[in-house]
């Protein structure tokens, strides 16, 4: 008879730990607070790094932060928004070294898009970030969209789809998980779900032929995760936004066959929680089928505890099942992890050893994407004037465009010329169009937003979003017209 000791039976995971395990939260500041370290030790499922966490930090400093998070909670997935182009967290103060989606889609090379995803993966692996909340799979079919715009690869679904798939392949081929967003598609809306509750008012047949095409391509490319959007889709659910809607999320699971992690967009956004509060939105989202709940930036630990308690209460009273939480936690555990990425990424003075960023290819793509409308005047001695307008919340208040000599409001007097006038999304800002109407030649307009309709008398350059290679392409064209900077 064997006398070997029996293994102790595995203890069931507590309901409190399961409820924490589906939450992806964010603290304020560049250091891990003690109360968040305690939450991580208790099973917090993820940390999302926003601008307040990264700021002007080097990759080495970000890596020190992610190492601290991982030491406190090895189970936690660490994420951020690194889309390239306009939306960058790691390069927010200088500008992204890679083209954004709209420029890549216009450049037309899926190889360049794939290489861009790989270059972004190198940065993220060096910083210790597991999951990139990118790329954007929204088809920007509404040029007046206030929150997607140049973050989208195209206004045409099949072009967007091939670039979404290539970006996912480049990123995940280097070991970092992709979270494609914002399902079922935020591109045909005219409101920002950070601030309101947009409606995608289209028939299901239209949605299938337009919005779903890039998401289907992402699923086929093996995307690790898909992020929801806080938009109402009356063809599927006339009341609840997609993040909280079982019929909308069933479209992703059943029609597209996605079996990875469904990540909610930030639940502090008005589209999700303005009328019900974040804890209630969290319960509804889990019940609808989401797995990992993003809670938005700079949240106090006490709020995370309240959300955990709301989820536990929902299980206790039968609105949610324990099995649903266990399923979500299992999916989250299967996400790729930066420490497993075979990049050879090393942090030292902010340098990365891994796939080399092909700056020449990025520059060529920027020139291919750049629209030049009209004949540029003699720009010798021209000053750069930035017309200040609020950035959308996803981009944030970060530097954009060429370094300005003067920054003005749309209602300010127009400086004397010659001028290079920089704007963002002038086509949807009447006050900016009025300002441009007062600008006298010689001058040129540089539109850094989506290249919307334009009937102005001045020549216009459209780089399709801000990035360092895009800025250099614009500068090269301006220098060809005599600009001397």
Residues 150-174: what's their mean pLDDT? 97
Residue 4 in this model has a pLDDT that exceeds 70: no
Q: What is the pLDDT of residues 366-422, one digit of tens each?
A: 999 999 999 999 999 999 999 999 887 778 888 899 999 999 999 999 999 899 999
Separation of alpha carbons 359 and 369, rounded Å = 15
Q: What is the pLDDT of residues 238-263, one digit of tens each?
A: 999 999 999 999 999 999 999 999 99
- Is residue 171 within 8 Å of 214, Cβ to Cβ? no
pTM beyond cutoff 0.85: yes
Residue 26 in this model has a pLDDT that exceeds 60: yes
Q: What percent of the chain has pLDDT over 70?
A: 93
pLDDT higher for 7 or 285?
Answer: 285
pLDDT higher for 164 or 147?
Answer: 164
* pLDDT at site 139: 96
* pLDDT at site 350: 35
* pLDDT at site 233: 94
Helix 110-127, helix 59-72: angle, nearest 10: 60
Q: What is the pLDDT of residues 171-188, one digit of tens each?
A: 999 999 999 999 999 887
Q: What is the pLDDT of residues 89-109, one digit of tens each?
A: 999 999 999 999 999 999 999
Q: What is the pLDDT of residues 410-463, one digit of tens each?
A: 999 999 989 999 999 999 999 999 999 999 999 999 999 999 999 999 999 999
Q: How confident is the model at residue 61 (pLDDT cuts 50, 70, 90)?
A: very high
CATH of domain 15-340: 3.20.20.300
- CATH 3.20.20.300 positions along the chain are 15-340
Is there a catalytic annotation at residue 186? no
Q: What is the pLDDT of residues 294-326, one digit of tens each?
A: 999 999 999 999 999 999 999 999 999 999 999
Is there a catalytic annotation at residue 265? yes
Residues 60-89: what's their mean pLDDT? 96
* pLDDT at site 352: 38
The catalytically annotated residue of 123, 130, 188, 265 is 265
Residue 143 in this model has a pLDDT that exceeds 90: no
Among the listed residues 478, 441, 473, 470, the one whose alpha carbon sits nearest the alpha carbon of residue 457: 441
pLDDT higher for 195 or 24?
Answer: 24
The catalytically annotated residue of 182, 194, 230, 427 is 194
Q: Strands of 459-462's sheet, edge to edge?
A: 371-373, 459-462, 443-447, 419-423, 383-387, 406-408
Please state whether 298 falls in left (phi above 0), alpha (psi between -120 and 50) or beta: left
Q: How confident is the model at residue 269 (pLDDT cuts 50, 70, 90)?
A: confident
Q: How confident is the model at residue 347 (pLDDT cuts 50, 70, 90)?
A: very low
Among the listed residues 428, 421, 314, 411, the one whose alpha carbon sits nearest the alpha carbon of residue 376: 421
Q: How confident is the model at residue 16 (pLDDT cuts 50, 70, 90)?
A: very high
């Amino acid at each position: 008879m064997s006398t070997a000791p029996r293994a102790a039976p595995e203890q069931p995971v507590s309901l409190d730990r399961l409820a924490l395990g589906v939450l992806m939260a964010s603290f304020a500041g560049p250091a891990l607070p003690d109360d968040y370290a305690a939450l991580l030790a208790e099973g917090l499922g993820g940390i999302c790094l926003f601008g307040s966490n990264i700021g002007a930090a080097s990759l080495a400093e970000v890596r020190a932060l992610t190492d601290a998070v991982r030491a406190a909670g090895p189970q936690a997935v660490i994420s951020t928004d690194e889309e390239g182009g306009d939306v960058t967290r790691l390069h927010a103060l200088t500008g992204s070294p890679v083209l954004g989606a709209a420029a890549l889609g216009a450049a037309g090379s899926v190889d360049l898009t794939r290489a861009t995803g790989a270059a972004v993966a190198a940065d993220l692996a060096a910083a210790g970030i597991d999951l990139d909340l990118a790329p954007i799979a929204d088809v920007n079919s509404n040029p007046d969209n206030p929150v997607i715009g140049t973050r989208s690869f195209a206004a045409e679904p099949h072009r967007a789809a091939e670039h979404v798939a290539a970006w996912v392949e480049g990123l995940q081929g280097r070991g970092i998980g992709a979270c494609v967003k914002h399902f079922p598609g935020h591109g045909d809306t005219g409101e920002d779900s950070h601030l309101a509750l947009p409606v995608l008012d289209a028939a299901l047949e239209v949605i299938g032929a337009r919005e779903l095409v890039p998401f289907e391509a992402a699923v086929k490319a093996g995307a690790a995760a898909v992020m929801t959007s806080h938009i109402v889709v009356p063809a599927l659910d006339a009341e609840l936004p997609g993040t909280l809607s079982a019929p909308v999320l069933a479209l992703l699971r059943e029609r597209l066959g996605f079996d990875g992690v469904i990540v909610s967009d930030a639940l502090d956004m008005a589209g999700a929680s303005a009328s019900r509060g974040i804890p209630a939105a969290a319960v509804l989202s889990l019940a609808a089928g989401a797995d990992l709940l993003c809670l938005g930036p700079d949240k106090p630990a006490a709020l995370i505890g309240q959300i955990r308690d709301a989820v536990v209460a929902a299980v206790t009273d039968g609105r949610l099942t324990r099995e649903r939480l266990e399923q979500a936690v299992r999916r989250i555990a299967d996400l790729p992890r930066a420490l497993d990425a075979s990049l050879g990424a090393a942090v030292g003075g902010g340098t990365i050893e891994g796939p080399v960023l092909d700056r020449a290819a990025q520059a060529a793509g920027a020139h291919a994407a750049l629209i030049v409308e009209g004949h540029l005047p003699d720009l010798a001695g021209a000053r750069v004037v930035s017309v200040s307008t609020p950035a959308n919340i996803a981009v944030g208040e970060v530097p954009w465009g060429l370094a300005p000599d003067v920054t003005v409001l749309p209602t300010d007097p127009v400086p004397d010329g010659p001028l290079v006038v920089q704007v963002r999304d002038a086509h949807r800002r009447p006050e900016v169009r009025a300002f441009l109407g007062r600008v006298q030649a010689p001058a040129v307009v540089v539109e850094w937003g989506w290249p919307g309709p334009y009937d102005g008398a001045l020549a216009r350059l459209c780089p399709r979003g801000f990035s360092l290679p895009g800025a250099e392409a614009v500068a090269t064209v301006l220098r060809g017209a005599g600009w001397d900077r």
